[in-house]
Amino acid sequence: MSTFPLDIDAPRTAAASLAADAQMVGRIRLLLALSALLAAVVGQPGQHPSNALVLTLLSCYVAACAIECAGAQFELPFALGRGPHRFDVAAFLAIFAATGGVDIVPFIFLFFAILVASTRWGRDEGMRVMLVALIICCVGAIAAAPDALAQIVSAAAVWLILGYGIASLGERNIQAMRRLNLLRELNTASNPRFGIDRAMTAAMESTRAFFLAERCVVLLEEPETGKYYLRSVRQHGPLASSADMADPQLGHALLLQPVAHVLLHRAPWWHRLALTGLSLSHAGGTGRWRAQERGQYQDLADLLDASSFISAPLVIGRRIGRIYVTTRQRPFGRGDALFLAQIAAHGLRTIDRIDLLDRIASEAASVERNKLALDLHDSAVQPYVGLKLGLAALYQKAQAGAANPLIDDLKKLLTVADDAIGQLRHYARDVHRARGAQVPICLAALKRQSEQLLAFYGIDISIHMEGRIAFGDRLTAEVLQIVREALSNIRRHTAAKRGAVSLSCGDELLRIEINNENGGQQPARFVPRSISARAAALGGSASVRQGATATIVCVEIPI
């Protein structure tokens, strides 16, 4: 069982949403209250004042339960929070006092409140409800019957044990739901368009957040070369964390043997609030936990700057290594380590598939780039070179004769031909360039196109980038094409002489804005069909808005 507090604000499935839970609990609470009222009416005849008080309290409680049930059906805030089960505790205390503690009915409300609190808010809330009710009841009982102290204490111990058991079962239910949620998220959230770095970083961040840890570390070894690659994710870190080559000594230390075992280490209780220090390994399957030499594990914890860590074997593509989750605030348990092994074995399979697809696509793209570079040289560069030679011959012939009015025009054509040949050769080199430098290529390509628009058409386009723009080859190509089409539209369909391109990347959204001056005149409404189609294919959208002096095309792509 997990030893760290639950994050009750973690996303939950629609079937087990807070509103659905509240509606079900509200109906059960109302039925219990009606049953208790019916039992009181049938089982307590007569006009004794205590009977009348109990019936009055139960009637008020039934009315309150009906209001809460209706509020849950309409998803009103007061019915979705912690108020209802705390009101159950207040009702228990009132009825307990009215009956003198001799009736079992109030205890049904108490244990129902503990069950609701723990299954919806975790063990801490369930125990909080239990302790408040227990302390008040014990104080009242001792004040009323000081001679029965031993019986009161023994009864309180039974209550406490039973309440703790109910609260622990409730927490296990929440924990199981969160684990299923995480595995589903890891298998569906990754998008191959953003490349292996972003997909792996997102998976590591989800794992770190689930365990409420400070850090998640992945070390992988390349069997063919013996090189180690390290990737580390912290809270509020970058969206894409690249795998850096690690020192062999560091890699050997982190790749703790046996590689196939699940590891658990936590510091002794005098360092952290754990009962005992542990250094264990598990072979998986139906094996048992085995104690390991604590000094080696403590050295590794010091290396990771942690008091407690869990680790599991990890295989991504051809690389073999380990995933670590570390913390300095709270100890991990055996269940945490075994679940991390499930994450590594099943939850990260999507990353393995993305890595395979990325390598296949990159190798195919490399072959295609080489072919395209050769085709560019043969079919585009060489004809331009021939055209340039012809123009040079004409230019020399024109210079040899008398004053010729075509000399200046021929000189301009020679300059244009030289520029075109240089651009084609530069483009061929970019096409032939290896993968891995997406952002410089993206920025350089946009600046180069803006320079061309300024030189040939007198359109001044400024380029702005905000945030860390880092994604895979395929998405980079799509972004470049969207911007190129937008700039081409400015040149062909407007009389604008100034414009701007802005790219910003947040935690969940890539935003591209292309604007051009409109001279204060509102153009007819339009939708850039090609840009909209490309954005929709990427799961995003494109929109156009008119400002006072500019027309703005905005493309948003979820990442």
Summarize pLDDT for 371-396 with one digit per residue, the tens: 666 666 666 677 777 777 777 877 77
CATH number at residue 452: 3.30.565.10
For the stretch 514-542, pLDDT in tens is: 988 877 677 777 778 889 888 888 878 89
Q: Are residues 163 and 69 in the same domain?
A: yes
227 and 199 within one domain: yes
Whole-angstrom Cα Rg for the chain: 35
Across 306-331, average pLDDT: 89
* Domain stops at, among 296, 323, 347: 347
Whether 353 is covered by a domain: the verdict is: no
What pLDDT is recorded for position 435? 46
Angle at 553 between CA 552 and CA 555, to 5 degrees: 140
Strands 228-234 and 215-221: antiparallel
Q: Please name the residues in contact with 180: beta carbons below 8 A apart, sequence gap of 6 or more.
A: 13
The mean per-residue pLDDT over the stretch 11-36 comes to 74
Give the CA distances from residue 421 to residues 376, 411, 426, 432, in Å, rounded to whole numbers and listed in that order.
11, 15, 9, 16
pLDDT of amino acid 37: 85
Shared domain for 471 and 514, answered yes or no, is yes
Q: How confident is the model at residue 189 (pLDDT cuts 50, 70, 90)?
A: low
**What is the pLDDT, as a whole number, of residue 442?**
63
Q: What does the pLDDT average to over 103-111?
A: 78
Mean pLDDT across the stretch 119-125? 85
Instruction: For residues 337 and 456, state if they share a domain.
Output: no
Assigned domain for 496 exists: yes
Flag whether 199 is in a domain.
yes
pLDDT of residue 13: 42
364 phi and psi, to 5 degrees? -65, -40
Quickly state the pLDDT bin for 81 (edges 50, 70, 90). Answer: confident
Contact status, residue 424 vs residue 416, Cβ threshold 8 Å: no
Residue 84 pLDDT > 60: yes
Q: How far is CA 317 from the centre of its chain?
A: 23
Statement: residue 291 has pLDDT above 50: yes
**pLDDT > 70? residue 272:** no
Rounded mean pLDDT, 39-46? 69
Two tokens at 483?
């911007």
Residue where one domain finishes, among candidates 155, 184, 213: 184
With 0.75 as the threshold, say if the pTM is over it. no
- Please indicate, yes or no, whether residues 426 and 556 belong to a single structural domain of this protein: no
Task: Say if residue 270's pLDDT is above 60.
Answer: no
Same domain, 216 and 333: yes
Give the Cα separation of 301 and 272 in Å (integer): 13
Residue 208 has pLDDT above 60, yes or no: yes
| Pair (278, 305) in one structural domain | yes
In a domain, 6, yes or no: no
Q: Which residue has the higher pLDDT, 363 or 22?
A: 22
Domain span at residue 517 reads 438-559
In a domain, 3, yes or no: no
Is residue 2 domain-resident? no
How far apart, in whole angstroms, are the C-alpha atoms of residue 264 and residue 257? 13
Q: What is the three-class DSSP state of 106?
A: helix
Residue 259 has pLDDT above 90, yes or no: no
The pLDDT assigned to 271 comes to 46
Query: Mean pLDDT over residues 269-294, rounded?
Result: 72
In this structure, the answer to whether residues 507 and 381 fall within a common structural domain is no
- DSSP single-letter state for residue 471: -
Residue 250 or 190, more confident? 250
191: closest CA among 240, 245, 242? 240
Report which listed range, 5-14, 198-207, 268-277, 499-508, is most confident: 198-207
More confident residue, 372 or 337: 337
Q: 11 or 114: which carries more pLDDT confidence?
A: 114
Is pLDDT above 50 for 9? no
- 354 assigned to some structural domain: no
Over the stretch 440-482, which tens digit does the pLDDT of each residue have? 456 677 777 788 788 777 888 888 887 666 666 667 778 888 8
Note whether 203 and 342 are same-domain residues.
yes
Is 5 among the domain residues?
no
Q: What number is the average pLDDT over the span 427-434? A: 63
**169 Cβ contact list (under 8 Å, min separation 6):** 118, 119
Q: What percent of the chain has pLDDT over 90?
A: 8
Tokens at 284, concatenated? 């998986």
Instruction: Kindly state the tokens that stand for 42.
Output: 């049938």
Q: For residue 459, which of 515, 525, 413 has the smallest C-alpha distance?
A: 515
Q: What is the largest CA-CA distance in the chain?
A: 133
453 shares its domain with 501: yes
Helix (H) or strand (E) holding 362: helix 349-376
The count of domains in the chain is 4
Looking at the predicted structure, is the pLDDT value of residue 276 above 60? no
Tell me the average pLDDT of the chain: 79
Report how far residue 170's alpha carbon sits from residue 176's, in angstroms, rounded to the nearest whole number. 10
Alpha carbon of 124 to those of 32, 159, 162, 165: distances in Å? 25, 16, 15, 12
